[in-house]
């Protein structure tokens, strides 16, 4: 059963959770949605609000839903790497990720999250911008992470609701 808390009440280390546990970025609603595994992103204060930044490569199917939606969610599943194996290696264009993972979608406020999540951040999209090669001061990340120049979109979202599953 989910309980609502504030972003400042999150007890977990989100750097640890994002980097090692990973998360799902989900956008869309009951008429259509997609989710993807992500291990990059961050949380903090932006424009006077608790906020997140999600990073999505342009070719990812989820980006199409982010572009069409006002909201997106970040959700965490503990050590459920089986979910991320599907959502991080297969495209929702080709398969039904919900069916393959056994996740139960919950539709709220024009977006989607899953009943099996341990932590959910419901975010209102505020800004979308693509990383620009000319703005990199340190060029090492370009060589290491962008050999095909498919720079991430950075999506800033205002956290409107935080849910923990007790």
Tens digits of residue pLDDT in 67-125: 999 999 999 999 999 999 999 988 889 889 999 899 999 999 899 999 999 999 999 99
Q: What is the mean pLDDT of residues 123-150?
A: 97
Q: What is the Cα gyration radius of the chain?
A: 15
Mean pLDDT score across all residues of the chain: 95
pLDDT of residue 166: 80
Give the whole-number percent of the chain exceeding pLDDT 70: 100
Q: Which domain holds residue 38?
A: 2-165
pLDDT of residue 105: 97
Residue 119 contacts residue 12 (beta carbons within 8 Å): yes
DSSP single-letter state for residue 17: I
pLDDT of residue 28: 97
Q: How many domains does the chain have?
A: 1
Instruction: Report yes or no on whether pTM surpasses 0.75.
Output: yes
Residue 72 contacts residue 66 (beta carbons within 8 Å): yes
Q: What are phi and psi of 3, to 5 degrees?
A: -125, 135
Residue-wise pLDDT for 12-52, tens only, equals 999 999 999 999 999 999 999 999 999 999 999 999 999 99
- Helix (H), strand (E) at residue 159: strand 153-165
Q: Quick one: which of 91, 77, 100, 63 has its CA closest to 22?
A: 77
Q: What is the mean pLDDT of residues 50-73?
A: 97
Question: Which stretches of 10-159 are DSSP H helices?
Answer: 14-16, 61-68, 81-87, 97-101, 140-145
Give the domain CATH number at 135.
Answer: 2.30.110.10
């Amino acid at each position: 059963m989910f309980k609502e808390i504030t972003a400042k009440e999150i007890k977990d280390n989100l750097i640890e959770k994002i980097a090692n546990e990973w998360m799902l970025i989900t956008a869309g609603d009951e008429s259509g949605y997609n989710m993807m595994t992500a291990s990059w992103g961050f949380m903090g204060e932006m424009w006077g609000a608790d906020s997140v930044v999600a990073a999505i490569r342009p070719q990812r199917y989820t980006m199409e839903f982010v572009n069409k939606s006002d909201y997106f969610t970040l959700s965490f599943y503990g050590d459920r790497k089986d979910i991320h194996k599907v959502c991080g290696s297969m495209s929702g264009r080709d398969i039904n990720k919900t069916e393959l993972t056994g996740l139960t979608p919950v539709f709220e406020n024009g977006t989607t999250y899953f009943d099996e999540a341990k932590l959910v951040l419901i975010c209102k999209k505020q800004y979308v911008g693509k990383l620009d090669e000319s703005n990199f001061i340190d060029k090492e990340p370009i060589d290491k992470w962008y050999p095909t120049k498919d720079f991430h979109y950075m999506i800033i979202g205002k956290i409107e609701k935080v849910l923990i599953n007790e």
